[in-house]
């Protein structure tokens, strides 16, 4: 499947953009065989770039281990524990320990036994608006983007060059540049992964391939504040009410109005963090006639009130 074949590709963009990335680089690493780094499970996604040389990555608790070549990118969207090394048999050292030992002069992590060299960039990104987003749960534990893929090279190379430069030579504005570069990298990696998926795949991604269900999703995303009903959505895509509801639930995994509520709350959380609107204004923007009904819906999804949610992010300084 090609993304160009998707009539509602902008729907995918809106979902990915709503995640609100916060990316950073842990380290620029010069590694010599034998070497291996272990990263524990965390609340943020990891990424690794094999800048030069070769290596392997293994997701702990699974049989999945993938060879890496120069220029390859791997992303672990769910922050799974994993080991990165020159060989699946090499003894792993905690990356956290190596970060404490890195040279203060050039910020480079150096580790290994003196053999063949591998240059790697390690980092992470957090999704500050993950709850209620329909795509994250569908992503695999590991996304591998080989540099050998012709179409991939065109966008991956300049991004990796930028990350390498900022990791080696951090300066004024580096954090902002890295944040933008990692965000683009994640979106492009997800697009590359989707292109490799079989046409028969279901779920939310499968819904994008169905003209009627993707159209229904699109109108909900374009106008989430509209007073949608199942009947209105069905009419919008030229279907009867009952067949539409059944088909939507089959493809997406939840009923239409349940999906709409989750998406509205996802948007509301973003508005609350940005502090641009009063809570009453946010309620109206996402389709609620009263602040009370909006607050009840928000609390059901996030287990806290909108005001306390906003206060929590003020405390964090986000």
Phi then psi for residue 206, to 5 deg, are -65, -35
* Rounded CA separation 62/259 (Å): 31
Q: Which CATH architecture has domain 3-195?
A: Sandwich (2.60)
What Å distances lie between residue 240 and 29, 204, 212, 243, 251, CA to CA? 58, 21, 11, 6, 17
What Å distances lie between residue 238 and 203, 213, 232, 235, 249, CA to CA? 21, 11, 10, 5, 17
Which residues in the chain are classed under CATH 2.60.120.280? 3-195
CATH class of this structure's domain 210-316: mainly alpha
pLDDT of residue 252: 86
pLDDT of residue 287: 95
Indicate the pTM of the whole model. Answer: 0.77
Strands 21-32 and 108-112: parallel
Q: What is the pLDDT along the chain (318 residues), one digit of tens a residue?
A: 344 344 444 777 777 777 777 888 888 899 999 999 999 998 889 999 999 999 999 999 888 899 999 989 999 999 999 999 999 999 999 999 999 888 777 778 999 999 999 999 999 988 877 766 777 877 889 999 998 875 566 777 888 888 888 877 778 888 888 888 888 888 888 878 877 766 545 567 767 778 899 899 989 988 999 999 999 999 999 999 999 999 999 888 889 999 999 999 989 998 998 777 899 999 999 999 999 999 999 999 999 999 999 988 776 654
Which residues in the chain are classed under CATH 1.10.10.60? 210-316
């Amino acid at each position: 499947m090609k993304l160009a074949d998707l009539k509602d590709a902008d729907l995918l963009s809106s979902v990915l953009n709503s995640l609100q990335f916060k990316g950073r680089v842990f380290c620029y690493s010069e590694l010599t065989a034998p070497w291996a780094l272990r990263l524990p499970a965390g609340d943020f996604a990891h990424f690794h770039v094999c800048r030069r040389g070769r290596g392997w990555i293994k997701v702990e608790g699974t049989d999945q281990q993938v060879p890496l070549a120069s220029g390859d990118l791997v992303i672990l969207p769910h922050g799974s524990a994993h080991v990165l090394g020159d060989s699946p048999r090499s003894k792993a050292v905690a990356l956290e320990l190596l970060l404490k030992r890195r040279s203060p002069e050039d910020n480079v992590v150096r580790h290994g036994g003196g053999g063949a060299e591998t240059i790697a960039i390690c980092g992470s990104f957090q999704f500050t608006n993950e709850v209620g987003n329909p795509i994250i749960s569908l992503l695999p534990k590991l996304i591998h983007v080989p540099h050998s893929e012709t179409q991939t090279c065109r966008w991956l190379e300049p991004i990796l060059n930028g990350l390498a430069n900022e990791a080696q030579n951090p300066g004024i504005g580096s954090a902002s540049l890295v944040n933008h570069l990692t965000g683009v990298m994640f979106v492009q990696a997800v697009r590359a992964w989707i292109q490799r998926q079989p046409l028969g795949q279901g779920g939310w991604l499968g819904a994008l391939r169905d003209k009627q269900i993707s159209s229904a999703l699109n109108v909900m995303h374009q106008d989430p504040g509209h007073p949608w009903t199942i009947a209105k959505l069905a009419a919008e895509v030229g279907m009867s009410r009952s067949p539409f509801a059944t088909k939507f639930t089959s493809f997406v995994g939840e009923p239409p109005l349940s999906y709409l509520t989750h998406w509205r709350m996802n948007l509301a959380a973003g508005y609350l963090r940005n502090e641009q609107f009063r809570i009453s204004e946010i309620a109206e923007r996402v389709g609620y006639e009263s602040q009370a009904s909006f607050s009840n819906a928000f609390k059901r999804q996030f287990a806290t009130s909108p005001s306390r949610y906003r206060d929590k992010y003020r405390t964090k300084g986000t």
